[in-house]
Structure 1
């Protein structure tokens, strides 16, 4: 006699197995932890290295020296002035062509009202310090190698501007007593000199690529080493000179970075303490054959953010006007593509942050841009994703980790896995990952630096994060949610535009071949694995 279980029991068993599978598959592994990604963490390392450097520079302060004005005058000081050449007493014809005079401008501050200038300066200082804390790491700080061999020298952190002069800090010799102490320095992209002289020390090779120093008094030699300068003589905007530092029987090598300083790109968003979303964030989207969906998106944004600028990239064959306050509508060539539209939209953003949304998203009370801004302001993250709620009620955040494995001559291997690296301290619903869902806010300049490859025309998303791997610091917060317009529609209920969109979006011939060629050549990959 057969025993049949009721239908409800079978459904319960099926749902239970499905739930168990989901928990096993998506539950974060035990290794995940909570990590503080605030910019203040690296400051601890800076302070330790700074204290050690001060100990080194205070050595031999009691030994007198004579400044060498010609060399010392070339050293950078903590201050700069823009001065114009004096106008000649007689204004000769073609004088400016034959003898061009330097002009100067020092009134940038007049762009702001005098009453608010102090607040503007304070805001600029805060933004600049935040920038330094975000992008300067302990690997950029000066480190002096103490004399495990007799030689002391800087292992990192020495930088010089192209064709400029800098003191080389941390040079020293810790040697046993002997009649004569000698050291040699050899460069390849510049020359050495001394900005001051010390009695009892012989110096040779000044102004040349090979410098010799010798003395019978070790303390005098070490004092002289504190005045050794390096001048870059071969222009390159970004390179490094390899310096050989030698004494009898010992040799050390260190590098001096040669390069221009990176010009800060700071965003002025007012002087209020609260987040001014209108001044901080621009919303960007790309539309194609879905003006009805686009209008629903705009209407939903205006409920919560009536004055935030919306930038729209549009590659429709027959563009329709998209009107309204704080809307910028840019027309592209027909069917130019998904990533080309992203590039265009993001290129027009002038605020500190840009929020990317699809044109069929809907803002709700859970779409809290203030939360995303707060995360980006208080951490070192460059980009933070949210979550998308489908019409079925399912909410996805699409968190993935990426890793590249060295593959030798054949190219590297890219491994993509669902999950994240660790939680973000202070933000319980946020984690650090390498790729997030198609609803994210990022620092405008960082997103522009990575860019979106315009050859990816119809189906693309993960490719942006692959291009940004190693450059972008990415997070995801699942409590900032945007709704997705329903995609459920019977085939006979679709309009002609919807059918055309389906053909362009999902049936693009050759797109897979283009994607593979970019992975193979541009990203130098031989394969990809994913779960």
Structure 2
């Protein structure tokens, strides 16, 4: 009996715990998580004033009644770092009732920083530059006046996945005794954040919602409170909304997706560019340790503390050591673009400078000029110039365009030249492909990446992959020298002969690989070039 009694007590205890857990989970479901303060009318007024200040004029005198259940989900331009309060303690309560924790990053970081105001200013400046680079005119809300007689937004309406927004600019202008409009969507539902007397609303919380009223001003006031809630999660898509009345219909898109995530680099706020904190030099070497040594020595003559990252796929790698040098060994003969990927992947500074291992820095190799144009423009990558031993200086400026070609594939067109000169930088132009000496924003170069299958040759392929992703420039006043390639046959070392046999291989397999990359990976059927 005593054993049975203990089992019953144990069962009751477990059952109560499960019931409490179920109740806690139910009571903290998705509909209860969002708690945006302040609620009600003040929140709605703030959203209208902050996000759509030009849309509220004309109907302010018409009263409305806030729907707290809907209005509380509207996002205001503020967020709060709030943790769940601990309500009670039970055995295993941390497992049964996991609480939301909060960590105030600003306080934790700034309290221990020697110059909190300086780093805040630097962070704000970095974010401002990021916003300028990521801004698109297509993000600006534009409202089509009621010519049809429907008024609606033509662009610039965005919602975060599974979140709620007010739809700006909806309106109706017509001369009738009864007015009715309806909205339909596929990836979300409609509702109203407030109700207006004299307006009938049907389909709240559904994909089809109808609004009608004998009073046009009241209907237009009600349309100011129409909300859209995304219900199908997707990190980046769009919903096409139909807005219609008798005899007329219009369509507009609501972008659904997360905003661009900033990637800012804390290189320290300084009046002059600290190249060592801003730039890492990356290179790839293969058997040419004599050339690599000359490159490093020349860099150290002008930039003694800049980090140099070296990817090396030599069969018998030699040690490359020294201050601010990172030497990474790869499998033998892994290849050109694989080495680029490795080297760039290890860069932690804001910018990465790519230099071949047979380049030589001179007084004209001013990295500050490259940093200056990247800091002051929306460019993601800027190329320099390479001076050969003959005195000829090359910039390799090309424009690239893709022409649609139907089912058989598209056409790639490459031409010498550039698009236009950059205002304020007379020696710099905008192009689509530049020479093999360039500085780029590290995160943007990493996003495009380098095809590791291209082992022996590869340059144009990177810029084709970057088309539409990178804003590219070229400046002729930043010059690096190219070591001499002239070697008499009887003066070549075994390493030089081995390098030549690998580097300048023209096997059928290599040719077929490049054809495959363009034909299959990029879906081109032809390529034209000058």
Instruction: Tell me the equivalent position of 1:162.
Output: 161
Consecutive unaligned residues in structure 1, runs of 5 or more: 1-49
Distance, in Å, in 1 between the alignment partners of 2:54 and 2:172 is: 15
TM-score (normalizing by structure 2): 0.88
Within the alignment, does 1:331 sit opposite 2:329 as a pair? yes
SS in 2 for 1:132: helix
**Number of residue pairs aligned between Structure 1 and Structure 2:** 480
Cross-structure match for 1:4? none
Please tell me whether the aligned partners of residues 53 and 144 of structure 1 are also in contact (alpha carbons under 8 angstroms).
Answer: no
- The one-character-per-residue Cα deviations of 1:40-64 (angstroms, maximum 9, x if unpaired) are xxxxxxxxxx999643332312222
Q: Which residue of 2 aligns with 1:105?
A: 103
Give 2:179's match in structure 1, choosing from 154, 178, 181: 181
Query: Contact 1:185–1:246 (CA<8 Å) still a contact in 2?
Result: yes
Task: Give the structure, 1 or 2, with the largest relative contact order (CA under 8 Å, sep 6 or more).
Answer: 1
**Deviation digits for residues 357-414 of structure 1 (CA, Å, limit 9, x no counterpart):** 0001000000000000111111111111000011111111111111111111111111
User: Which residue of structure 2 lines up, in the alignment, with residue 95 of structure 1?
Assistant: 93
What is the CA distance between 1:511 and its match in structure 2? 1.3
Secondary structure of 2:119's match?
Answer: helix
Question: Which residue in the other structure is 1:490 paired with?
Answer: 488
Contact 1:109/1:117 (<8 A) preserved: no
Once the two structures are superposed, the pairs formed by residues 53-452 of structure 1 within 5 Å of their partners are 54-90=53-89, 92-112=90-110, 113-176=112-175, 178-452=176-450
Shift of 1:81: 1.1
Report SS of the residue matched to 2:115: helix
The Cα shift of 1:104 comes to: 1.4
Residue aligned with 1:70, SS? helix
Q: 1: distance between equivalents of 2:471 and 2:105?
A: 37
Q: Distance in 2 between matches of 1:194 and 1:218?
A: 17
1:120 Cα shift?
Answer: 1.1
Distance between the aligned counterparts of 1:166 and 1:53, measured in 2?
Answer: 11
Kindly state the Cα deviation for residue 467 of structure 1 after the two structures are TM-superposed.
0.7
1:115 deviates by 4.4
Q: Supply the distance in 2 between the matched residues of 1:59 and 1:491 (Cα, whole angstroms).
A: 86
Give the match's secondary structure for 2:217.
helix
Give yes or no for contact 1:458–1:508 (8 Å, CA) kept in 2. Answer: no
Shift of 1:110: 2.7
Q: Residue in 2 aligned with 1:41?
A: none
Task: Tell me the SS of whatever aligns to 2:55.
Answer: helix
Following TM superposition, by how much is the alpha carbon of 1:114 offset from its aligned partner in structure 2, in angstroms?
4.7
How far residue 87 of structure 1 moved from its aligned partner, in angstroms, is: 2.1
In 2: Cα distance, 1:203 partner to 1:129 partner: 42
Match of 2:37 in 1: none
> How far apart, in 1, do the equivalents of 2:57 and 2:359 lie?
62
Deviations 1:97-129 (A, max 9, x none): 222211111134433445411111111111111
The offset of 1:163, in angstroms, is: 0.9
Question: Could you list the per-position Cα deviations for residues 247-304 of structure 1 after superposition, in whole angstroms to 9, with x for gaps in the alignment?
Answer: 1111111111111122110111101121111111110000000111111111110111
Deviations 1:309-342 (A, max 9, x none): 1111011111111111111111111110000000
Relative to structure 1, is the Cα distance of residues 395 and 122 closer, same or farther in structure 2, using a 3 angstrom cutoff? Answer: same
Report the alpha carbon displacement of residue 88 of structure 1 after superposing the two structures with TM.
3.5
Q: What secondary structure, in the 3-state scheme, does the structure 2 residue paired with 1:222 have?
A: helix
TM-superposed deviation, 1:471: 1.2
Q: TM-score, normalised by structure 1?
A: 0.88
Whole-Å Cα distance in 1 between the matches of residues 51 and 105 of structure 2?
40
Contact 1:156 1:254 in 2 (8 A): yes
SS for the counterpart of 1:56 is: coil
How far, CA to CA, are the matches of 1:418 and 1:133 in structure 2?
29
* CA positional deviation for 1:508: 5.2
| Preserved contact between residue 184 and residue 210 of structure 1 (Cα < 8 Å) | yes
3-state SS of paired residue (2:296): helix
SS in 2 for 1:57: coil
- Alpha-carbon distance in 2 for matches of 1:121, 1:521: 48
| Residue aligned with 1:312, SS | strand
Taking a change above 3 Å as real, the CA distance of residues 235 and 263 of structure 1, as seen in their structure-2 partners, is: same
1:504 to 479, 483, 502: 502
The separation in 2 between residues aligned to 1:111 and 1:226, in whole angstroms, is 42
Q: Does structure 1 residue 529 correspond to structure 2 residue 528?
A: yes
In structure 1, distance between residues paired with 2:113 and 2:317: 46
CA deviation after TM superposition for structure 1 residue 512, in Å: 1.2
Distance in 1, Cα, partners of 2:463 & 2:363: 28
**CA distance in 2 between partners of 1:51 and 1:481 (Å):** 49
Separation in 1 of the partners of 2:348 and 2:506? 33
> Which whole-Å CA distance do the structure 1 matches of 2:109 and 2:296 have between them?
34
Q: Which string of whole-angstrom CA distances, capped at 9 and with x for unpartnered residues, describes residues 443-485 of structure 1?
A: 1111111100000001111110011111111111111000011
Deviation at 1:307, TM superposition (A): 0.8
Sort the Cα spacing of 1:206 and 1:52 in 2 relative to 1 into closer, same or farther, 3 A: closer
